[in-house]
Amino acid sequence: MTLLQDGGYPFMIPILILLFVLVFLIIKGLKNNSEKNLKLLKAISLFVLVYGFLGFTMGLIEALDAIARIGDIAPQIIAGGFKLGILPPTFGMFVFLVGRAGIILLVGLKKES
């Protein structure tokens, strides 16, 4: 739960919810492998990836604003901030890979028409 809090709830919670949606769609695709399901998997996984990088970009902008206001900041604080800021894109990449692995699985199991 600490990673969700550290990465920022506005970005980490939606990514987590979309992870559950992707897993649901993968399981649904194992039972009924439709083209619509594959398109949803592709769209959601790509959205999650971009959403994670949006979280990093917004956090970086806030951090640079704070640095500009304060001035002299210790490198340890900057490094800690970057570590926390990189959590949403990392989680987004993980969820993207889960979605893409599901797509590969479903395409591999799809019967030829």
User: How does pLDDT run across 76-94, given as a tens digit for each residue?
Assistant: 888 888 888 899 999 999 9
Q: Could you tell me the two tokens for 89?
A: 């894109």
pLDDT tens per residue across span 32-79? 888 999 999 999 999 999 999 999 999 888 888 888 898 888 888 888
For tokens 């990392």, the residue is 90
Which pTM does this prediction carry?
Answer: 0.88
Output the CA–CA distances (angstroms, integers) from residue 67 to 54, 55, 82, in the order listed: 20, 18, 13
For tokens 């194992």, the residue is 30
Q: Are 8 and 17 in contact (CB under 8 A)?
A: no
b/e sequence 61-95, b meaning 16+ C-beta within 10 Å: eebeeeeeeeeeeeeeeeeebeebbbbbbebbeeb
